Amino acid sequence: MASIEVQPLDESLSFGARVTGVTREALDDEAVRAKLKSLLEDRGVIVCKNVEQTADMQVKLSKVFGPLKEHPVYTVTRADRDNLPGVIVIASGPESCIVEIDGQPLVTWQPWHFDHAYNNEMMYAAVLRSIKIARDGGRTAFADGIQIYNDMDPAIRAKLEGLNVLYNLDLRYDKQRFGLPKNFRLVKQHDNSLSEENENGRCSVHPAVWTRPTGEKVFRLCPYGCRGIEGDRSDEAFALLAEIWEEAERVMKVYYHEWDEGDMVIWDNTRVLHEATGSNPEEEREIHRTTIKGDLCHGWWEDEAEAETAA
């Protein structure tokens, strides 16, 4: 009978687990599959070590947690559009955005976010596999929305309740109203027109807090692609969002994943924020990410809600 070994990522963190023994044989065992599903629900992030590094194995592991779904943006680069639905490529290249933080140039940097916040249906989870590992930087950071909510100042936390937040696909950093590092500078925009085309694009709406079936409340706000509050895109709305986000960052307890050969990382996107910390623009970096469908924490389209109200 196949078995896996589970250890905490860090005893000081409220989330995360490190797992060894994830093989094809193990994933064929229903008891192992059930244990992994339960582990993700309980710990939010799973780091699998010494896993077979193939696309087939990445998809097999992903399907433990739910069916794959297509990525909502057709133009995002796919690993194999015909045979690997929803498996996208995140890589450095001549078209990549370059930023500077504390004087250090970085490529493939992304601020804290939940994937697919710009869509009415967030994905449930994903499996990351590093194809080309950057040796200078390239970490992936994770933070637990349950821990953030619980540790926030109660007076600021109260401002989250009933707050519905707008997002869209304009992900340009010079359009981001809050949440950038203090010593941040945009060096070069990404060489595609997706964000520009969505400057006034359709907005999704997601609650800033949601409650899991198990009862825990989850902090669900991020600055990336944020376009204001439902019904309010004023400067005052962004000031409130910035105040809440600063408090979230103050209490955030972060796990930084340093990539090794053989790693695959799964996270619960309905609970856990993540950040790409960026790497040296002189190095190649490539990550493949699956897209796993779920039933929790979906939002709605702003224009559909307005149409219903008008009707």
The answer to whether 176 and 186 have CB atoms below 8 angstroms apart is: no
User: What tens digit of pLDDT does each residue of 216-246 get?
Assistant: 999 999 999 999 999 999 999 999 999 999 9
The better pLDDT of the pair 190, 280 is held by: 280
pLDDT at 200: 85
User: What tens digit of pLDDT does each residue of 70-101 get?
Assistant: 999 998 999 999 899 999 999 999 889 999 99
User: What tens digit of pLDDT does each residue of 266-280 get?
Assistant: 999 999 999 999 999
DSSP-assigned states of every residue in 142-154: EEEHHHHHHHS-H
Locus of tokens 């103050």? 250
- CB count within 10 Å of CB 3 equals 11
What domains does the chain contain, in order, with CATH numbers? 5-310 (3.60.130.10)
- Is 60 exceeded by the pLDDT of residue 251? yes
- Is 70 exceeded by the pLDDT of residue 161? yes
pLDDT at 51: 98
User: What tens digit of pLDDT does each residue of 37-75 get?
Assistant: 999 999 999 999 999 999 999 999 999 999 999 999 998
Give CA–CA dist 61/54, Å, rounded: 11
> What mean pLDDT comes out for the span 116-125?
95
Q: What is the dihedral of CA 47, 147, 42, 261, to 10 degrees?
A: 0
32: helix, coil or strand? helix
pLDDT at 24: 97
pLDDT at 304: 87
pLDDT at 307: 62
Amino acid at 245: W
Q: What percent of the chain has pLDDT over 70?
A: 97
